[in-house]
Amino acid sequence: MPLVVLYPMFHLVARYPEENALPLARALRARGLDVIDLGPPMARALRDEGRSCCYAADNHLSPQGNRRLAAWLLERLAPRLDAVRAGAGG
């Protein structure tokens, strides 16, 4: 089963700051695909801490932003991996 992971680009998070607002995530889910959208946690971080918490001046992810995305992805993948392990008998 495919899993789509969306890494948020600064201009998209700035344009769609609401929770679950990225049109691509909605469109993929509507077509039955499993999606992990990292836009919502990034939008919260930007709202609470400002752009420099995750993005460099050139709008690319900063090292701190990459660490945050990795942590958020792990949080969302861990239950899926546990379920696969449980289904495979441990």
pLDDT tens digits, 16-49: 766 666 788 889 999 999 999 998 899 889 989 9
Q: What is the pLDDT of residue 89?
A: 65
CA dist 19 and 84 (Å) reads 28
Q: Is the whole model's pTM more than 0.85, yes or no?
A: no
